[in-house]
Chains A and B, each alone.
Chain A
Amino acid sequence: MEILMAFVVGILFMSATYLMLSRSVVRIILGTTILSHGVHLLLLTMGGLKGGAAPLVGENASSYTDPLPQALILTAIVIAFGVTALFLVVGYRSYKVLGTDNMEKLRGNEGND
């Protein structure tokens, strides 16, 4: 299972890198989303994929899964959600103001003269 997860994480990272290297801002934002998914999956895998019961009161099981990675992932997901939303708004605003979503045209040289 861990091996499979490693491959999935690798594929997610690969696609994220590919998307983030493109020129369009929207693709870049999608890339960051996929990157964060890969990261969360990695965090889950790293916490151990033991098949215990859910760590809840009243589950009389002999072994429980580690709840900590899940709590961490929830936090990380919320943060990634907020950042992605903000990033989308910024991308949209800059498209309206600057008239392009091509990163090549967003090179800045002011103040360098």
Chain B
Amino acid sequence: MKTSDLILQTATKLILFLIVLFSVYIFFAGHYTPGGGFVGGLLTSGAILLLLLAFDMKTVQTILPFNYLYMVALGLLFAIGTGAGALLFNTPFLTHAFGDIHVPVLGELHLHTATLFDLGVYLVVVGVTMSIIQTIGGDE
């Protein structure tokens, strides 16, 4: 029997972007308030999971042709790279640098290398969650 999941599919198309946007917001909010790469990553993988529920694995693979294992590795590389950057300045591993930079259009920006580290965490979380889901769910 072929089930009709028209409502779910239509709703997903709308909600998906909201979730992803919210996850990006949460990701950046994590600097001084609750949030961060971990939660943001989980939200994003939740969005992809919704996509997987509404459509099937093949469709999602064609929309998002990522190798999630490489994504994990890339995320780790970001995180380790940020940490190891401290080695160049002879400060302890994982020491972060930050400062305010004036950018013409955007105005004063507070930049922090912890964001790069968090980006790594984000990628790792999305990659790990998705590869787990693919491994468990991919088998018919």
Q: Helix, strand, loop or mixed for chain B's interface?
A: helix
A58 to B128, CA, bound (A): 34
Q: Is A56 an interface residue (CB 8 A)?
A: yes
Q: Helix, strand, loop or mixed for chain A's interface?
A: helix
| Contacts A56-B33, A57-B32 given; does A82 touch B136 at CB 8 Å | no
Q: Is A85 an interface residue (CB 8 A)?
A: yes
Pairwise interchain contact A88-B136, C-beta atoms closer than 8 A = yes
Interface string of A76-92 (1 = CB under 8 A from B): 00100010010011001
Interface size class on chain B is under 10
| Contacts A56-B33, A57-B32 given; does A92 touch B128 at CB 8 Å | no
A residues apposed to B, CB below 8 Å: 56-58, 74, 78, 82, 85, 88-89, 92
A34 to B97, CA, bound (A): 41
B residues apposed to A, CB below 8 Å: 32-34, 38, 128, 132, 135-136, 139
Pairwise interchain contact A89-B33, C-beta atoms closer than 8 A = no
A–B complex contacts, Cβ < 8 Å, 16 sampled: A56-B32, A56-B33, A56-B34, A57-B32, A58-B32, A74-B38, A78-B38, A82-B128, A85-B132, A85-B136, A88-B136, A89-B132, A89-B135, A89-B136, A92-B136, A92-B139
Kindly list chain B residues whose C-beta atoms are within 8 Å of the C-beta of A58: 32
Residue of B nearest to A88 (CB): B136
A8 to B128, CA, bound (A): 31
A3 to B66, CA, bound (A): 49
